[in-house]
């Protein structure tokens, strides 16, 4: 079983839509969680950390569900510029090792 | 404030050759991790360096080795290149081993 799993998509949504991605992880001892965004042929960029209590940054909300071992990312009022691949990142049983999901592709259309 | 810089940006090598990729971390960062990203996949963890030592290693063979220098910069070496080593190699730095990473733009390695 992979350490981190994501639905590859693509998610095709109109501008202004709300879209949510989930990511499941296998190691119940994981403590650190992040969402990264990666544009085509570019490096991943940190979008936000995911805290136990959930956190929000503008149109983006991240949640952690430890009981079901998944994290989620909600994007409200989607913009064309949100089109990218969203990568979920979880640390392993050692804080020094991080695992990436394969990414979920989002296409926001006019 | 310079971010993470990697060199070279692109590289073409022949099977069996050796390659060295370089990374300078973001100012104030002391931890460097290397990742391999194949087309259409998420980055795969190769190893992490902190205080000039390899602290963690992913599931990569010994052909992949690295080094961290006193100024926190790092090198990734790959020996006996295989076609399957063709990928984007990403360097990421962080303030501590458990903090969010800042990635460099990567080195795109093609093995022919």
Q: Do B98 and A95 touch (CB under 8 A)?
A: yes
Cα gap A3→A82, rounded to integer Å: 26
pLDDT tens digits, A34-62: 999 999 989 999 899 898 888 999 999 99
The helix/strand/coil state of A48 is strand
Name the minimum distance, in Å, from the CA of B21 to any CA of chain A.
Answer: 16
B48 interaction partners in chain A (CB closer than 8 Å): 96-97
Beta strand pairing status for A104-109 and A11-14? Answer: parallel
Give yes or no for residue B66 having a pLDDT over 90: yes
Where does residue A57 rank: exposed (0-12), middle (13-18), buried (19+ CB within 10 A)?
exposed
Q: Do A46 and B50 touch (CB under 8 A)?
A: no
Sheet strands (E) in chain A: 4-6, 11-14, 19-25, 33-38, 45-49, 55-57, 60-65, 70-75, 84-91, 98-100, 104-109
- DSSP for B28-71, please give it: T--EEEEEEE-TTS--EEEEEEETTEEEEE-S--TTEEEEE-TT
Interface residue B40 vs chain A (CB under 8 A): yes
**Range A21-35 average pLDDT:** 92
Q: Do B100 and A101 touch (CB under 8 A)?
A: no
pLDDT score recorded for residue A31: 87
Q: Which of residues 7-36 of B touch A (CB under 8 A)?
A: 33, 35
Count other Cβ atoms within 10 Å, centred on residue A24: 19
Interface residue A22 vs chain B (CB under 8 A): no
The helix/strand/coil state of B89 is strand
pLDDT score recorded for residue A41: 85
Where does residue A88 rank: exposed (0-12), middle (13-18), buried (19+ CB within 10 A)?
buried
pLDDT score recorded for residue B97: 65
pLDDT score recorded for residue A94: 67
């Amino acid at each position: 079983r992979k350490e981190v799993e994501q639905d590859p998509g693509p998610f095709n949504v109109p501008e202004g839509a709300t879209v949510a991605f989930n990511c499941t992880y296998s190691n119940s001892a994981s403590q650190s969680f992040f969402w990264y965004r990666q544009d085509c042929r570019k490096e991943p960029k940190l979008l936000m950390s995911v805290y136990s209590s959930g956190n929000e940054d503008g149109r983006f909300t991240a949640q952690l569900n430890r009981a079901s071992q998944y994290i989620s990312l909600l994007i409200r009022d989607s913009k064309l510029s949100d089109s990218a691949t969203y990568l979920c990142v979880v640390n392993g049983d050692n804080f020094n090792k991080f695992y990436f999901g394969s990414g979920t592709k989002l296409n926001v259309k006019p | 404030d310079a971010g993470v810089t990697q060199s070279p940006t692109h590289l073409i090598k022949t099977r069996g050759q050796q390659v060295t990729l370089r990374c300078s971390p973001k100012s104030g960062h002391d931890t460097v991790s290397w990742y391999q990203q194949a087309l259409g996949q998420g980055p795969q963890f190769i190893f992490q360096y902190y205080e000039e030592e390899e602290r963690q290693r992913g599931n990569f063979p010994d052909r992949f080795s690295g080094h961290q220098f006193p100024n926190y910069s790092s090198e990734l070496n790959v020996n006996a290149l295989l076609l399957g080593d063709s990928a984007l190699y990403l360097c990421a730095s962080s303030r501590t081993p458990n903090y969010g990473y800042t990635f460099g733009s990567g080195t795109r390695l093609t093995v022919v």
